[in-house]
């Protein structure tokens, strides 16, 4: 009963949400249904707005919010396919469920572009009309590692004066290659640049969620609080959840006593950086992914290869394409004096 109520509530929320994104499909345009993991994730909300700007002129677009519930998202996809749509965009809640989504797509013969929350593409092989647009997790991790090297101030953050960084890592979903790559290459790059890092515990998997990192922090502080000098997070949302808990304990109120490094550059994180209580984040531009997705959709409906004239090429699996990405750093005093700096500088 609770699960049914959750599905009904989120479907009703979709109808209200569409007041801002468009209503019924017009007969003279291809119909696109876009499924978002959670609009409570500020990055995904911003990306949804970019997709709307890119697609609404040429296509009829309907956007669904799954409220971070995989069952809700599956029901939304079923409903949309049954109602009739020409192509779907899926930011899947949990990558391990991609095969179930593909089964629905095969049944209706509808093409799909998966984006973000990267699944393992080997399950795509049975359906030629499903592709993936992903970020370059390796380069994202390298950017975050370089940022860490730039902002690390041992005089301020090295509490035990041992010359090493005692850190914890908040990671996105299990099986998400972008999250895994960010985690791995952030640390590898920082070490290559000469920093000595000591991880406290294992990676804390929090599925991009603010509330998860917030509720994980009590255990972390009980075990490692006296040693903790640095929080690295795969995204700003989880970093902000950790900061919320620290603030409740009287930590990072007026200064970033514990350094925090995030990713995405969402507005709330940048505000906290300006306040001096959040150390730095990597900001990524959203319009590149939105514009590539628009070009791919136009190519598909024109009978061309998905990547025709986009300047992009398929990965070796011939299923996925990675955004090159434009990144900048938002950092506090000691590195860039609270301003946005291009990573090439």
User: Which position has the higher pLDDT, 28 or 233?
Assistant: 233
Whole-model pTM? 0.84
Q: Does one domain contain both 84 and 169?
A: no
- Average pLDDT for residues 93-109, to the nearest whole number? 93
Do 236 and 195 have their domain in common?
yes
Q: Is 96 helix (H, G, I), strand (E, B) or coil?
A: helix
pLDDT of residue 63: 97
Read off the pLDDT of each residue in 30-52 and give the average, rounded to a whole number. Answer: 95
pLDDT over 70 (residue 13): no
What's residue 197's pLDDT?
Answer: 97
Are 331 and 309 members of one domain? no
pLDDT of 71 strictly over 90: yes
Q: Are 173 and 179 in contact (CB under 8 A)?
A: yes
pLDDT at 325 (0 to 100) = 77
Domain count, the chain: 2
Q: What is the DSSP letter of 123?
A: G
For 247-290, write each residue's pLDDT tens digit.
999 999 999 999 999 999 999 999 999 999 999 999 988 889 99
Model confidence at 246: pLDDT above 90: yes
In the predicted model, is pLDDT for residue 11 greater than 50? no
Quick check: 219 pLDDT over 50?
Answer: yes
The per-residue pLDDT for range 160-210, each reduced to its tens digit, is 999 999 999 999 988 888 999 999 999 999 999 999 999 999 999 999 999
Question: Nearest to residue 29, comparing CAs of 272, 301, 305, 285?
Answer: 301
Give mean pLDDT, residues 139-148: 95
Are residues 230 and 157 part of one domain? yes
Which residues touch 287 (CB under 8 Å, ≥6 apart)? Answer: 50, 54
Tell me: do 112 and 191 sit in the same domain: no
* 8 Å CB contact between 39 and 45: yes
What does the pLDDT read at residue 229? Answer: 98
Q: Where are the beta strands (DSSP E) in the chain?
A: 31-36, 60-65, 87-90, 112-115, 130-134, 165-171, 197-199, 204-205, 230-233, 259-264, 280-284, 320-322, 327-331, 340-342
Rounded Cα gap, residues 146 and 261, in angstroms: 11
- Give the pLDDT of residue 332: 73
The CATH number assigned to the domain holding 156 equals 3.40.50.2300
Query: Are 219 and 148 contained in the same domain?
Result: yes
Contact 238, 214 (CB under 8 A): no
- How many residues are given for the chain? 345
Q: Which of 132-136, 275-279, 341-345 has the lowest mean pLDDT?
A: 341-345
Across the chain, what does the average pLDDT equal?
Answer: 88
Distance CA 122, CA 177 (A): 13
Residues 183 and 332 in one domain: yes
Instruction: Say yes or no: 127 and 169 in one domain.
Output: no
pLDDT of residue 22: 36
Looking at residue 20, its pLDDT comes to 39
The pLDDT value recorded for residue 10 is: 52
Q: With pLDDT > 70 as the criterion, what percentage of the chain qualifies?
A: 88
pLDDT higher for 325 or 287?
287
- What is the C-alpha separation between 220 and 237, in angstroms, rounded? 18
- 184/73 same-domain check: no
Q: Are residues 330 and 316 in the same domain?
A: no
Q: Is the pLDDT of residue 4 over 80?
A: no
Angstrom distance (rounded) from CA 175 to CA 141: 16
Range(s) of the domain holding residue 68: 2-134+286-322
Q: The tokens 């970019």 sit on which residue?
A: 50
With a cut of 60, say whether residue 26 has pLDDT above it: no
User: pLDDT tens digits, residue range 51-69?
Assistant: 999 999 999 999 999 999 9
End-to-end CA distance of the chain: 55
pLDDT tier at 28, thresholds 50, 70, 90: confident
Number of helical H runs and strand E runs in the chain: 11, 14
Q: Are residues 149 and 277 in the same domain?
A: yes
- Mean pLDDT of all residues in 115-140: 89
Task: Assess whether 122 and 155 both reside in one domain.
Answer: no
């Amino acid at each position: 009963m609770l699960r049914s109520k959750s599905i009904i509530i989120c479907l009703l929320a979709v109808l209200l949400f569409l007041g801002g994104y468009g209503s019924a499909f017009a007969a003279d345009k291809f119909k696109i249904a876009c499924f978002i993991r959670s609009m409570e994730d500020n990055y995904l909300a911003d990306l949804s707005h970019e997709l709307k700007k890119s697609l609404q002129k040429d296509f009829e677009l309907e956007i669904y919010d799954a409220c971070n519930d995989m069952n809700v998202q599956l029901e939304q996809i079923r409903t949309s396919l049954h109602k009739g749509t020409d192509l779907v965009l899926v930011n899947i809640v949990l990558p391990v469920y991609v095969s179930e989504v593909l089964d629905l797509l095969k049944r209706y013969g509808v093409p799909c572009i998966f984006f973000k929350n990267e699944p393992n593409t080997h399950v795509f092989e049975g359906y030629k009309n499903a592709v993936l647009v992903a970020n370059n997790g390796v380069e994202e991790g390298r950017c975050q590692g370089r940022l860490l090297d730039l902002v690390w101030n041992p005089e301020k953050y090295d509490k035990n004066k041992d010359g090493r960084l005692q850190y914890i890592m908040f990671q996105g979903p299990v099986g998400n290659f972008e999250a895994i790559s960010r985690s791995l290459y952030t640390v590898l790059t920082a070490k290559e640049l000469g920093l000595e890092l000591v991880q406290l515990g294992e990676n804390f998997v929090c599925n991009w969620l603010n509330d998860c990192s917030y509720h994980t922090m009590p255990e972390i502080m009980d075990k490692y609080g006296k040693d903790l000098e640095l929080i690295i997070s795969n995204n700003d949302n989880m970093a902000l959840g950790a900061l919320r808990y620290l603030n409740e304990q009287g930590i990072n109120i007026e200064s970033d006593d514990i350094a925090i490094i995030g990713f995405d550059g969402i507005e709330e994180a940048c505000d906290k950086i300006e306040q001096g209580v959040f150390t730095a984040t990597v900001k990524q531009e959203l319009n590149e992914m939105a514009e590539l997705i628009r070009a791919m959709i136009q190519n598909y409906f024109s009978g061309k290869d998905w990547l025709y004239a986009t300047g992009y090429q398929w990965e070796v699996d011939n299923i996925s394409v990675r955004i090159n990405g434009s990144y900048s750093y938002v950092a506090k005093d000691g590195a860039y004096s609270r301003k946005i700096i291009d990573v090439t500088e």
